[in-house]
Structure 1
Amino acid sequence: MDTISKVAKIVAEKYNSVSLILRIALGLVVGAVLAVLFPGAAWVQEFGNLFVGALKGIAPVLVFVIVASALAQGSSKLDRRFGTVVWLYMLTTFLAAALSVITSELFPQTMALPEAASADVVPQGLGEVMHTLLSNIVANPVSSIMNGNYIGILLWACLFGLAMKQLAGDTTKAFLADTADAVSSIVRWVINLAPFGIMGLVYTNVSGNGLSIFTQYGRLLLLLVGTMLFMALVVNPLIIFIYLRRNPYPLVLRCLRESGLTAFFTRSSAANIPVNMSLCEKLGLDKDIYSVSIPLGATINMDGAAITITIMTLAAANTLGMKVSIPAAVLLAFMSALGACGASGVAGGSLLLIPMACSLFGISNDIAMQVVGVGFIIGVIQDSVETALNSAGDVEFAATAEYHQWLKVGKPLPEFLH
């Protein structure tokens, strides 16, 4: 028994000594190879299911206890840095929608519409989207944690934390801080097993989705992905440069590597919140700020969703031979940006907000739901890139707001930005 324990300890030490990024890359390769050689080995995909399930399970609890603990300690307030983060989230979401209008004009797309998709919940207008968002804000706190309703979790965690700050003694506050640290440790354990989860997720995608399904909609998919990459590698870095006056790419590439990579495979901003929290800690950010701004970013920083809604809607208009005027395109960008902020509160995410945008041009719901059906076909790639863009941006702009404040007070920036 002692021998087994020693061997297990040695294996664990060897495993932990290898860079997490390298381990994830190996998991990716192994998953793809297994999918090609053993496409019927369903047990492999269970690693992916367990990994995403564990992250989704612990993330709501993590967000609640970290936000509540940060506010209860009262070591600092949500100052201008938080306002800057929110401004950057909203600004880039609108810019993403506006960029999509431009790219759609430069490379207009049409689509062969399949049979109409069906959905239980399809928002018909921006008012319904906002109603859903506001309803989620005041949803039952227990059901919010159970269902991963992060906007609701944020509100109740803030109220609970502020109440604890006023009423709790030092011992209770210390217990709350220890609870937050304990949950954070559990998250780190789960993230440490990410290579196995990525292996299972890659196996599922490669074995279950052949490349042939992308042939018909290849140009549309290329426009979506190209616009998202332009946003990630050009627009976002430009905004960061304006604020920091430093080369933005060390920060951008690090966020894409350590946050965007896992988000690409999990395809869930909610599941990636613990990953982003860990990255913010590595970047030296203020925990009192990022513990609130990161979960908020998973709700309102929706660059990828705005791009998807805008491009798919304009492709539908082109398919029907509609000419979209510049004022209508600007209104579409504004509606897509606001709608994208409510995407996490709508069943089905960004794709089911397409009918709302289509209604702006008088496109019937039957046609709009066929467009949604196309979105589900290309969603294997589109949704992965969209989530990676959104999740990496959450950390990029949290760091930008923090480092911008450092420059104002004369505090030196981290070495990797010099």
Structure 2
Amino acid sequence: MKDLFVKWNQVSLVKRIVIGIIVGLILAVTVPKAASWVTIFGSLFVGALKAVAPVLVLFLVIHALAAHKSGKKTNMKSILVLYAIGTLLAGAVAVVASFMFPVTLTLTAGADGLSPPEGIVEVLETLLFNLVANPIDALINANYLGILMWAVVLGLALKNTSQNTKDMLGSFSSAITKVVQWVIQLAPLGIMGLVFDAIVTSGFSALAVYGRLIAILVGCMLFIALVVNPLIVFIYTRKNPYPLVLRVLRESGLTAFFTRSSAANIPVNMRLCEKLGLDEDTYAVSIPLGATINMAGAAVTIAVLTLATVYTLGIEVDFMTALLLCVVAAVSAAGASGVAGGSLLLIPLACSLFGVPNDIAMQVVGVGFIIGVIQDSCETALNSSSDVLFTATAEHARERKEGKIVSMKS
């Protein structure tokens, strides 16, 4: 038994995850009732990731800032620009795709008990209040903006403390990182449970009715992941982007697809950044920040479902309004994490651009929840994998720039 366990751990994590997916699929199709206990693995895995991620982010950021040596450069400015460009282009791709392949919906039921934000001001207000949240509440509720704010403040405050204090913070960070590695080793079992639960709960028949809408959403997200993002990476690095793009999709996007949580995927992304040899001072901040504001997938969801509503109601869309929708989708997507319900609850905000009544917009939110098993999975995979992609891109671009300067001097 011990030898079997050792051999299992010697197999690459991605291959073990694929085995977990296949087993979960087989169990869901063949013995859904007898194997219902399998779902607990999925719940435990996601729960463990969500539990450890806030503590990991807090200590990594505090240690990174406290131990940061004056004069050492980070890439945060470049990464923020990449996050903004990626999200804005995602909204533009979704608008263009919706014009090329218009989709109409059958609106029958709403999303009861949900209250969307009344305007962009409310979204921004929520984000600002999240920044100054009580640190204990921020940890309990996984409010990453609040966690980041307190981590930055504490990290800067501890910058001039003794080396012993900084070493202690480093030891805490290393210990929590080790715990994360243990949790990630359970990914094959966890994802097996998540796949089983998704198929047994939703099945495939519920999704067939909305096949065209799902095709547009998934098509846009694949186009962004495999065309737009690689193009951005190439412009910045002047290197073939696909080895990096495919690796982050395989090692980050795959896990995010099944956990459907950017927060739960933070530890996975941190570990991938470490494996890529990226600067810890940078990725300790950029990864949790990306899980909060880098939301290309959310921009796609907001834009596509908004225009589907508009087409259903027979409303004409002019170029300027479509352009404005790209911006609104991008800004709203960046605020999605600050609103209960994520990107779907920001659809009524975008619909208000076209004068769509709130009760109809909420019916579209209901449609979003029906297709959520696919839409939310693809959205999270794109959002989360882009965090690592753009962090690595900024670092490679800096290395290219520094190499160019050195060669010019020599």
Same structural fold, with TM-score higher than 0.5 when normalized by the shorter chain? yes
Q: 1:83 pairs with 63, 74, 77, which one?
A: 77
The 8 Å contact of residues 74 and 282 in structure 2, kept in 1 or not, is answered as no
The 8 Å contact of residues 138 and 155 in structure 1, kept in 2 or not, is answered as yes
Q: 2:340 pairs with 347, 351, 356, which one?
A: 347
Using a 3 Å threshold, how does the CA distance of structure 1 residues 331 and 79 change in structure 2: closer, same or farther?
A: farther
1:198-217 superposed matches below 5 A? 198-217=191-210
Partner of 1:393: 386
Cα distance in 1, alignment partners of residues 108 and 132 from structure 2: 38
Q: 1:263 pairs with 256, 266, 272, which one?
A: 256
Partner of 2:131: 137
- Alignment of 1:165 with 2:159, yes or no, is yes
Cα distance in 1, alignment partners of residues 69 and 297 from structure 2: 34
What secondary structure sits across from 2:343 in the alignment?
helix
Alignment coverage as a number of residue pairs: 403
The 8 Å contact of residues 78 and 288 in structure 1, kept in 2 or not, is answered as no
The 8 Å contact of residues 252 and 272 in structure 2, kept in 1 or not, is answered as yes
Partner of 1:93: 87
- Alignment of 1:146 with 2:140, yes or no, is yes
Residue type of the alignment partner of 1:314: L
- Alignment of 1:321 with 2:339, yes or no, is no
Displacement of 1:11 in angstroms is 3.6
Using a 3 Å threshold, how does the CA distance of structure 1 residues 305 and 77 change in structure 2: closer, same or farther?
A: farther
Cα distance in 1, alignment partners of residues 189 and 219 from structure 2: 29
Q: 2:363 pairs with 333, 350, 370, which one?
A: 370
What secondary structure sits across from 1:386 in the alignment?
helix
Displacement of 1:119 in angstroms is 3.5
What secondary structure sits across from 2:75 in the alignment?
helix
Using a 3 Å threshold, how does the CA distance of structure 1 residues 335 and 278 change in structure 2: closer, same or farther?
A: same
- Alignment of 1:119 with 2:119, yes or no, is no
The 8 Å contact of residues 354 and 368 in structure 1, kept in 2 or not, is answered as yes
The 8 Å contact of residues 224 and 307 in structure 1, kept in 2 or not, is answered as yes
Using a 3 Å threshold, how does the CA distance of structure 1 residues 178 and 141 change in structure 2: closer, same or farther?
A: same
Partner of 2:408: none
Cα distance in 1, alignment partners of residues 68 and 334 from structure 2: 29
- Alignment of 1:64 with 2:61, yes or no, is no
Write out per-residue CA displacement over residues 79-138 of structure 1, whole angstroms, 9 at most, x where no aligned residue: 461100000001110110011110000001110002121234311111111111111111
Partner of 2:232: 239
Q: 1:282 pairs with 267, 275, 278, which one?
A: 275
What secondary structure sits across from 2:117 in the alignment?
coil
What secondary structure sits across from 2:262 in the alignment?
coil
Write out per-residue CA displacement over residues 257-303 of structure 1, whole angstroms, 9 at most, x where no aligned residue: 00000000000000000000000001110000000000010011100
Partner of 1:4: none
Partner of 2:40: 46
- Alignment of 1:74 with 2:71, yes or no, is no
Residue type of the alignment partner of 1:164: L
- TM-score, normalised relative to structure 2: 0.96
Displacement of 1:256 in angstroms is 0.1
Displacement of 1:216 in angstroms is 1.6
Q: Which runs of 4+ in 1 moved over 4 A?
A: none
Using a 3 Å threshold, how does the CA distance of structure 1 residues 77 and 135 change in structure 2: closer, same or farther?
A: farther
The 8 Å contact of residues 277 and 290 in structure 1, kept in 2 or not, is answered as yes
Cα distance in 2, alignment partners of residues 364 and 133 from structure 1: 25
Q: 1:221 pairs with 211, 214, 232, which one?
A: 214
Write out per-residue CA displacement over residues 310-356 of structure 1, whole angstroms, 9 at most, x where no aligned residue: 01001101000000111001111101100100101100000000011
The 8 Å contact of residues 74 and 281 in structure 2, kept in 1 or not, is answered as no
Write out per-residue CA displacement over residues 39-80 of structure 1, whole angstroms, 9 at most, x where no aligned residue: 012210000000000000000000000000100111366846
Using a 3 Å threshold, how does the CA distance of structure 1 residues 99 and 181 change in structure 2: closer, same or farther?
A: same
Q: 1:250 pairs with 240, 243, 250, which one?
A: 243
Cα distance in 2, alignment partners of residues 407 and 75 from structure 1: 23
Partner of 1:332: 325
Displacement of 1:12 in angstroms is 3.4
Partner of 1:155: 149
- TM-score, normalised relative to structure 1: 0.95
Cα distance in 2, alignment partners of residues 255 and 245 from structure 1: 18
Write out per-residue CA displacement over residues 346-379 of structure 1, whole angstroms, 9 at most, x where no aligned residue: 0000000001101111111100000000000001
Residue type of the alignment partner of 2:170: A
Cα distance in 1, alignment partners of residues 170 and 125 from structure 2: 35
Using a 3 Å threshold, how does the CA distance of structure 1 residues 78 and 369 change in structure 2: closer, same or farther?
A: farther
Q: 2:265 pairs with 260, 272, 294, which one?
A: 272
What secondary structure sits across from 1:410 in the alignment?
helix
Cα distance in 2, alignment partners of residues 12 and 165 from structure 1: 44
Identity %: 59
What secondary structure sits across from 1:269 in the alignment?
coil
Residue type of the alignment partner of 2:51: G
The 8 Å contact of residues 96 and 307 in structure 1, kept in 2 or not, is answered as yes
Q: Gapped runs of 5+ residues in structure 2? A: 405-410
